[in-house]
Amino acid sequence: MTEREACCILQHMNVFDARELAVMIEAAGSAEELLALEGGELYKLGRTIDFEKQAVFDAWKDHHLQEAAFRYMEEKGIGYVSCWDPEYPVRLNTITDAPVGLFYRGMLPENGVPAAAIIGARRCTAYGKEMAHFFGAELARRGVQVISGMALGVDGYAMRGARSVDRDTWGVLAGGVDLCYPMENVGLYRDLTQGSGGVLSERPPQYTGRPYDFPIRNRIISGLVDVVLVIEAAVHSGSLITVNTALRDQREVFVLPGRVGDHASSGCNELIKNGAQVLTCPEDVLQYLGISVQGETQHPVKKVLTAEQEVVLQFMGTDGTSVDDLLEQTGFPLGVLTEMLVQLEILGEIRRAGIGGYVKNYRG
């Protein structure tokens, strides 16, 4: 068995965190030597593990189980790279708890090419969607690798922005790379795994991410990049976990400001108040990365609504408005109103709120 294969099997066990596994490999002398030990012999490395972990460790010494794992990876087109391989993303070597290896489908991000993470709220506003897509497209168009978590909201829109200009983009998953999560992004997942970038994870195939896996995953997102862009985040947003790991690992953080009083941007405004870089245009990031910005950057295209759509929006608030109320206030027939609500939802101007209600999104 090669050292890479031994690392791969150790990560398939999924019972040690990244730092613990790295320490154990170093103490044993190599991943192969660690794998050769029995679970009850780990005390020789100064480590003790509980009975359940010991049972998993010993079970994975079965050659049939190992061969089945490698066969599954081959069938699903899953690659693996260890931190000792030249293909391993070099930026991850600079973080304090780098994964021992990564599973991936598609391609790995390219070393030596500028990279930016674009993160933010899952339940973002229309303004957040527009800005995520815009910055994803503009940075990608200028040769910056766009990396995110492939979550709903800002993550997905930023990655679609990169794809809109035919550039590769990467999603870092909390579960196995053979499982698309969330399923709403299955089209994006299929695009990435079939040659338009890739998805990667430190978790083994067939593993479904748990809630605690997402904040752990976030350190990989910030570790893979030079800069992190935050597009809409509330004060207690999970995106701020990524910001903390980015700052810990000396990544620059750019934050898109929001309106005073906007809940969706309350965390962003707080970050700016505490000294984060203000994000106002792609040039802010491109200049930091040392990329020329002379006269080539695009600007967002404003959506033009019909007069009837503007009327519907006029009677909508941010607390939710029922269809019955809209029928009474606008005077439109039910069929006409329903069609306009669908159109406005597609445009990102409104979103559903409960049964039969709609909420007006922020328009920048």
State yes or no: pLDDT of 302 exceeds 90: no
- Interval 107-124 mean pLDDT: 95
| Residue 298, pLDDT score | 55
- Interval 251-274 mean pLDDT: 88
What CA–CA distance (Å, rounded) separates 278 from 23? 39
- Interval 128-137 mean pLDDT: 94
pLDDT tens, position by position, 228-249: 999 998 887 888 899 999 999 9
| Residue 188, pLDDT score | 95
What CA–CA distance (Å, rounded) separates 127 from 50? 49
State yes or no: pLDDT of 109 exceeds 90: yes
Dihedral-angle region of residue 251 (phi above 0 means left; psi in -120 to 50 means alpha; beta otherwise) = beta
Indicate the residue type of 345.
E
pTM of the model: 0.80
What CA–CA distance (Å, rounded) separates 1 from 272? 51
What CA–CA distance (Å, rounded) separates 154 from 145? 16
| Residue 226, pLDDT score | 97
| Residue 364, pLDDT score | 41
Indicate the residue type of 269.
N
- Interval 94-119 mean pLDDT: 96
pLDDT tens, position by position, 177-226: 999 999 999 999 999 999 899 999 999 999 999 999 999 999 999 999 99
State yes or no: pLDDT of 335 exceeds 50: yes
Pairing of the two strands 357-360 and 321-322:
antiparallel
Which carries the bigger pLDDT value, residue 48 or residue 294? Answer: 48
